[in-house]
Amino acid sequence: MMKKLLVGISSSILLMASTAHADPLKVESENIVLYGDVKLNQAKQTVEKMEVYRKLIMTLGGVKPTPDRKKLTIYAFDSDSGLSKFTGTRGIAGLYTQGYDGPIMLTPLADSKKQNSFTNQVALHEYSHHVLHGYMDTAYPRWYDEGHANYLSTFTMRDGTLMVGRAAAKHARGLMRGGPDWVDVEDVISAIRVYPFADKGSKRGLLLNQFYAQSWLYVHYLHSEKELSSRLGYYLELINSGEEPIKAFEEGFGITPQEFHEAARDYFEDDRFNVQQFQPKAEFMAVNMKSTRLSKAELNLQMALGQRSFVNKKTMNDYGKKLNVFEKKNGQTAESLAARATYFINAQDFDQAVLYSQAALSQDPDGIEPLRVMGDVYFHKSHDLKFEDLEDTEPRIFELNDDMKKSIQYFEAALLENDEDYTAVSHMMSIYGASDIPVTPVATYAAEVYEDVYWDSNSVSGTLDLSNILMKSGKTIRACEYFKTAKKQAETDPNRDKFSLYNRVKLMEPNFSGQCDLT
């Protein structure tokens, strides 16, 4: 819940040395590592601004800023086209996701003087997700998550003053009279775990633009009204317990969706947005950073490591070129060989993937990169081709074949090197959570790490995995709680007939009905 705050006396933003040209570089702070072939001053301004932004978000949320368990890696580009080439996806201005080695963000850099630019707001929007998901015990529903990030992303810092809550120009334009039709408020607030309008085909893009615009306005209005904002916590409790979206909204906020929509529309047309201003003390604004110039080859390897999460038919050639540039100067290393194994996993050439991952492991027998990629190779080798023949509505259930046994062996070894490794933990959750394979002590431990570090109640499949592992571990009470929540979420999902999640719940239900009260 947001709390208004004004801290101390003002201080000036640290002036950063600037360079006029782009360079392969790395900039690192307490919570962020940035890589890119970009201007040094822009890279440092970006890291500084995001560190201050992070402190402000956490302080507003009533949380004392503490270092992240895992630093966010930012892959920076000098243009939108560079970002599109990296992901193989056109029309995106920024992205946040979990990568192989932890959270990553992709963004074009905008000069700090262009604080109102859409690109700058997208970068802050994506970072909002990272910060909020990192310290929130309960998950936000999709509409609020996106609207809140849009609300926060209007953040500016100038001459020691921080501001949040200005009108987001792009979203405001979409709501003006004579603009696109507004979408139904119930379609917006029913977006809990997935984005709406999946069945609208070519119209979905335009409808999603309105979804983002109205989500921004709804959150802005909500936080301008003391009575409504004071009830946000109760609404989130209802949503995270699996309550039906409209009922949760009406009970949580004490107002019907239509009444809320009309009040928010009046708020927009009055054009009197509640803007919060803060003047923090000098220590709040201070950000320690270290910048390092990289060789072209070094940067290509780091960018390839980030691109592993986006290797597809459109990006494979670009991904391979990055590895070629690195290896031409430095030879084959354990990291580059493991990255090549990822290339062949995506090409479904598992024999080549095994050869490259084995070569990586021979160079670094205890290295986390070779161990996790060996696990990943055998994980995909065990079931990818089999799953290709399944319909979208058919659950993906794993079996303990020889390849899966090898996958488990390598992921267990990876967890010995890093007991919170995201790739190893998430794969162990899938293997034991979406199967009847008996749990091991390592699988039980991985579930504990997942629950403590990575679990997000918006991930219904992750919740089902967790409930299954807990049930197989004899932790019945917690298993039942998670399964009941996932069951409600799947049953109220408007897309339940299009994908496999609902059918997976029905497949698991007999194993839980005898030990859980599912009413």
- What secondary structure does DSSP assign to 330-391, as a single string? H---HHHHHHHHHHHHHTT-HHHHHHHHHHHHHH-TT-HHHHHHHHHHHHHHHHHHHHTTS-
Alpha-carbon distance of 191 to 146, in angstroms, equals 10
pLDDT for position 129: 83
Q: Give the residue from 54, 59, 110, 50 showing the smallest Cα distance to 80.
A: 110
CA dihedral 370, 465, 187, 121 (to 10 degrees): -30
C-beta atoms surrounding 47 within 10 Å: 24
Lowest mean pLDDT among 70-84, 359-373, 420-434: 70-84
β-pair type (72-77, 102-108): parallel
Q: What is the pLDDT of residues 393-418, one digit of tens each?
A: 999 999 999 999 999 999 999 999 99
**Taking residues 92-96, what's their average pLDDT?**
84
Q: How far apart are CA 466 and CA 470, in angstroms?
A: 6
Hey, how many other C-beta atoms are within 10 angstroms of the C-beta on 3?
9
**Average pLDDT score over residue span 212-221:** 94
Query: Residues near 184 by Cβ (< 8 Å), separated by ≥ 6?
Result: none
Per-residue pLDDT, averaged over 110-132, amounts to 73
- pLDDT, mean of residues 340-365: 97
Out of 41-50, 123-132, 224-233, pick the least confident. 123-132
pLDDT, position 78: 87
* Inter-residue contact 398 to 384 (CB < 8 Å): no
**Which is it for the CA torsion 275, 125, 135, 144, positive or negative?**
positive
Residue scoring higher pLDDT (17 or 84): 84
Compute CA distances 326 → 152, 294, 345, 373, 471, whole Å: 39, 12, 20, 19, 47
What is the reported pLDDT for 490?
A: 84
**Residue 478: what pLDDT?**
94
| pLDDT of 457 above 80 | no
Which residues lie closer than 8 Å to 102 by C-beta, 6 or more apart? 70, 71, 72, 73, 422
The sign of the torsion formed by the CA atoms of 454, 455, 457, 459 equals: positive
What mean pLDDT is reported for the chain?
Answer: 88
Range in 92-106, 289-303, 398-412 with the lowest mean pLDDT: 92-106
- Looking at residue 177, its pLDDT comes to 82
Angle ∠(449,488,235) on CA atoms, nearest 5: 85
Q: What is the torsion angle, in degrees rounded to the nearest 10, for the CA atoms of residue 441, residue 444, residue 446 and residue 452?
A: -140
Question: Residue holding tokens 């996701």?
Answer: 97
Whether residue 222 is predicted with pLDDT greater than 80 in this model: the reply is: yes
* pLDDT score for 499: 80
**pLDDT band (50, 70, 90) for residue 229:** very high
Both structure tokens of 24: 């392969």
| pLDDT tens sequence across 314-335 | 999 999 999 999 999 999 999 9
| Residues in a beta bridge with 163 | 156, 277
pLDDT at 7 > cutoff 80: no
pLDDT surpassing 50 at residue 18: no
Angle at 225 (CA atoms; ends 215, 231), nearest 5 degrees: 80
Q: Of residues 493 and 337, which shows the higher confidence score?
A: 337
Please, which residues bridge with residue 73 across strands? 33, 104
Domains, the chain, ordered by start: 1-161+275-295 (no CATH), 167-274 (no CATH), 296-513 (1.25.40.10)
pLDDT of residue 114: 58
- What's this model's pTM, rounded to 2 decimal places? 0.83
Higher pLDDT, 297 or 65: 297
d(CA 420, CA 282): 35
pLDDT of residue 240: 82
Has residue 183 got a pLDDT over 90?
yes
Answer whether 207's CB lies under 8 Å from 200's CB: yes
